[in-house]
Amino acid sequence: MKIMKFGGTSVGRPERMHQVKDLITRGDEPKIVVLSALSGTTNSLVGIGEALAAADRSLAKLRIEELHSHYLAFYPELLKTTEARAKAEAIIQEHFEFLNILLKISFNEAINRDILAQGELLSTKLFQTLLEELNIPSVFLVALDFMSIDENSEPELSKISEKLTAILALHPGEKIFVTQGYICKNHRNEVDNLKRGGSDYTASLIAAAIQASACEIWTDIDGMHNNDPRVVDRTRPIAEMSFDEAAELAYFGAKILHPASIWPAQQFNVPVKLLNTMEPEAHGTLIKEKVETTGVKAIAAKDGITAIKIKSTRMLLAYGFLRKVFEIFEKYKTPIDMITTSEVAVSVTIDDLSHLSQILEELNQFGTVEVDQNQTIICIVGNLVSETKGVLKSVMDALLPYPVRMVSYGGSRHNVSVLLDSTYKKAALQSLNEGVFKW
Ligand code: ASP
Ligand code: MG
């Protein structure tokens, strides 16, 4: 059994949905098809929730009507028969009636999450209707019946596995299962979600839960690139990478994959393939346990970083100093990304500024604190990068013209990270692109 996940743009137009249908009906292996909402839908649903949160019902109503007309224009192009069209109309009717009812009751966070769940329910139901119209046998699974998160919003993998295995056992011999990405139940048994872009995470969790043969993530680009194609010229897709390399890259802004979606597949050693719906024969990127290649494989950047330097002579030869510093970040639930130390100072970076002022206030008791905002982390990733001769030199040579604020090397064997002011990002990425890859 394999997992095939299709993102919003892959299902965002009727003809694309037909392509998805072609892709999932190739080959004999049974598959679970995980779909995102049609592109733009989740953003619209967020907008509806925001309007309701601001008690602006007429704006919410307008946004619901706009989205409704999008679906009313979508289904006649997707489906041909009167029967299938009537079914689609009823599905759309049901979900928009639900949204309209929410307009009338008092708004809260649980209702907001109910709103957000409508996109994936709509896309999968419409897709299932298409399969039925074409007499393609398939089983519709409601993700809310098996996907769950605990009180810390962490997926409950063993429960998911147990429930999903039991559900699949009810359908022996079936080849195609269709289900929703992103949505789940939380510990209060309310509808919840795996955060924006979470459909990849769903796919990876399902792959781990049933120990699938592969987890295919179908998008509209040809795999993970060796550098950010939006910023840098002449990038190319990476054919193969390890889970460790992919995890470093996914976090550092390689938008193609949700950062959390690596660990479930990695834990159960399910290969992940990043494939292109528009070019199904292209190789894409294969992510697996071990790769033979060494050296720099890719570069990724993450903006919106703030560097904080704490300088204190009390740090000199002292123990326990770093713990006290880190405890402050822990207290405010603020993750630290990069760390560098000297004998008398430590610099850390964060990207969540919600508690910056409280953190700074508490840090002040330890010494002088300096803050640099608008920084970018550039992360140079590759299997055994730290042991490959010359990598550090080529990185530093490429960065020679730019003031580097922090360097982190040796933290893992797959990564060198540097921090610099965001104004240098584009030029630095381009220079690294030319300097560190052996073409
Ligand atoms: N539809 C959700 C979003 O746009 C989940 C996903 O597409 O992965 O964030
Ligand atoms: Mg996505």
Q: What is the pLDDT of residue 254?
A: 56
pLDDT digits (tens, 9 = 90+) for 355-367: 999 999 999 998 9
Residue 119 alpha carbon, nearest atom of ligand 1: 1
Distance 219 CA to ligand 1 centre (A): 12
298-436 maps to which CATH number? 3.30.2130.10
Burial of 395 (0-12, 13-18, 19+ CB in 10 A): buried
Place of tokens 């206030």: 361
Please write the tens of the pLDDT for every residue from 373-382.
Answer: 999 999 999 9
Tokens describing residue 154? 């962490």
Atom from ligand 1 closest to the CA of residue 182: 5
- Which residues, listed in sequence order, are joined to residue 237 by a DSSP beta bridge? 225
- Token couple for 311: 């300088």
Query: Would you say the CB of residue 284 lies under 6 angstroms from ligand 1?
Result: no
Q: Is the pLDDT assigned to residue 288 strictly greater than 50?
A: yes
Tell me: pLDDT of 427 over 90. yes
Question: Can you list the alpha helix ranges (DSSP code H) found in 25-56?
Answer: 41-53
The rounded Å distance from CA 42 to ligand 2 centre is 10
CA dihedral 207, 197, 222, 25 (to 10 degrees): 50
Taking the centre of ligand 1 as the mean of its atom positions, its distance from the CA of residue 182, in whole angstroms, is: 6
Task: Provide the residues around ligand 2 (an ion) whose CB is within 5 A.
Answer: 7, 197
pLDDT of 294 strictly over 90: no
pLDDT tens-digit readout, 122-181: 999 999 999 999 999 999 999 999 999 999 999 999 999 999 999 999 999 999 999 999
**Protein residue with least CA distance to atom 8, ligand 1:** 197
User: Residues 79-117: pLDDT tens digits?
Assistant: 999 999 999 999 999 999 999 999 999 999 999 999 999
**3 state DSSP class of 431:** helix
Predicted confidence (pLDDT) per residue in 298-346, tens digit: 998 999 999 999 998 777 777 888 899 999 999 999 999 999 998 889 9
- State the DSSP H helix or E strand holding residue 397, giving kind and residue range, or none if neither: helix 391-398
Structure tokens at 247: 């995890």
Q: What is the Cα–Cα distance from 68 to 91, expressed in whole angstroms?
A: 12
181 lines ligand 1 (CB under 6 A): yes
The residue whose CA has the least distance to atom 5 of ligand 1 is: 197
- The pLDDT of residue 253 is 58
Could you tell which of 6, 39, 42 is best to mutate to test the pocket of ligand 1, judged by most ligand atoms within 8 Å of the CB?
42
- Contact 12 CB / ligand 1 (< 6 Å): no
Arithmetic mean of pLDDT, 344-349: 94
Q: Which of 184, 197, 118 is nearest to 150 (CA)?
A: 184
Q: Which fold has domain 2-220?
A: Carbamate kinase (3.40.1160)
| CA pair distance 153, 248, nearest whole angstrom | 22
- Ligand 1 lined by 143 (C-beta under 6 Å): no
- Residue 36 Cα: closest atom of ligand 1: 7
Question: Is the C-beta atom of 119 inside 6 A of ligand 1?
Answer: yes
Q: In the chain, where are the structural domains located?
A: 2-220, 298-436
Mutate to test the pocket of ligand 1, among 9, 46, 123, 199 (most ligand atoms within 8 A of CB): 199
- Compute how many other C-beta atoms are within 10 angstroms of the C-beta atom of residue 13: 15
Ligand 1 contacts CB of residue 42 (under 6 A): yes
CA of 238 to the centre of ligand 1 (A): 24
Please tell me the residue having the least CA distance from ligand 1 atom 6.
197
Q: Could you give the 3-state DSSP secondary structure of residue 213?
A: coil
- Residue 410, Cβ density class (10 Å: 0-12 exposed, 13-18 middle, ≥19 buried): exposed
Which percentage of the chain shows pLDDT scores above 70?
98
Ligand having the closest approach to the CA of 256: 2
The pLDDT mean for the chain works out to 94
Q: Parallel, antiparallel, or unpaired: how do β-strands 176-180 and 240-242 relate?
A: unpaired
Query: pTM for the full model?
Result: 0.87
Rounded to whole angstroms, the Cα distance separating 118 from 177 reads 19
Closest ligand 1 atom to Cα of 120: 1
Taking the C-alpha atoms of residue 275 and residue 281, their distance in angstroms, rounded to an integer, is 9
Reported as a single tens digit per residue, the pLDDT across 167-183 is 999 999 999 999 999 99
**Number of residues that make up the chain:** 439
- Residue spans of alpha helices (H) in 103-137: 109-133
Does 197 sit in the ligand 1 pocket, CB within 6 Å?
Answer: yes
**Which one of 11, 34, 35, 36 would you pick to mutate in the ligand 1 pocket, going by the greatest count of ligand atoms within 8 A of its CB?**
36
Residue 438: pLDDT band with limits 50, 70, 90: low
Distance of CA 196 from the midpoint of ligand 1 (Å): 5
How far apart are the C-alpha atoms of 365 and 289, rounded to whole Å? 45
**One fold for both 2-220 and 298-436?**
no
E strand or H helix at 368: strand 368-381
Q: How confident is the model at residue 439 (pLDDT cuts 50, 70, 90)?
A: very low
Cβ 35 under 6 angstroms from ligand 1: no
Closest atom of ligand 1 to CA, residue 199: 8
Is the confidence at residue 255, as pLDDT, over 90?
Answer: no
Helix, strand, or coil here: 34? strand
Q: How far is the CA of 390 from the centre of ligand 2 (A)?
A: 36
E strand spans, 55-205:
139-140, 176-180, 183-185, 191-193
H-helix segments, 156-269? 157-169, 199-209, 243-251, 262-267
Residue with the bigger pLDDT between 392 and 315: it is 392
Closest listed residue to residue 366, CA positions, set 314, 327, 416, 402:
314
For the record, the structure tokens of 139 come out as 């089983």
